[in-house]
Amino acid sequence: MRGAAFIPGLLACLLVAASCGREATSDAPRPQSAPVPAATTRAPRVVFLGDSLTAGFGLPQDQAFPARLEAILREEGTPIEAVNAGVSGDTSAGGLRRIDWLLRQEPDVVVVGLGANDGLRGLSPEQTETNLRAIVARTRDARARVLLLGMRLPPNYGREYTDRFEAVFARVAHDTDVALVPFLLEGVGGEPSLNLADGIHPNPEGQERVARNVLPYLRGLLR
């Protein structure tokens, strides 16, 4: 009989223990799921591939037109990351040699301002055109957009040569369907008050004007 009485008591203790275990489990802190990191976006990266006009020859880099464009667009609420890849004295052939390295930076837009030194050195406009077309093709292969900056030469190079040279930029832009600034130095070239003493390179006021020449075309690409 004592054994029979012992069994109900044992069952009661087990039930109480089970109930206590459930209560302890319900009160235990539950593991928190890891927070999902917020999506981050960067400003469009714009690489300016050019020569001394792009580099801002004779000026601090923050006064060159790529930096001025970056500042203007930031003030408008459309920030960009401007990468000034201007090299004084560079030609279209030099830019073509550099473009693959620059594309490793994964730009969204490449602004191509090359060819002026080709013309000043009397190089073949046909070769300049071949180089510019190759730069455009490689940039597009990297899924970046292109803005081409048109160049002109002083009239002392002769009408026939200057016409052939100037036509290169419009033809490349038309055939490849890229945006074109007709003339980078519009309103600046030949204006003593907007250039350094050499009469070729824009001073700070000239660089500001150049930035304004490029602004609407770059703004359109960013949209």
As annotated, the active-site residues are 52, 198, 201
Report the C-alpha dihedral over residues 192, 196, 201, 207, rounded to 10 degrees.
Answer: -80
Asked whether the beta carbons of 53 and 116 are under 8 A apart, the reply is yes
- Name the residue among 58, 59, 55 with its Cα closest to residue 116: 55
Q: From CA 149, how far away is CA 200, in angstroms rounded?
A: 17
Cβ neighbourhood burial of 133 (10 Å; 0-12, 13-18, 19+) = middle
Interior/surface letters 101-131, b for 16+ CB within 10 angstroms, e for the rest: ebbeeebbbbbbbbbbbbbbeebebeebbbb
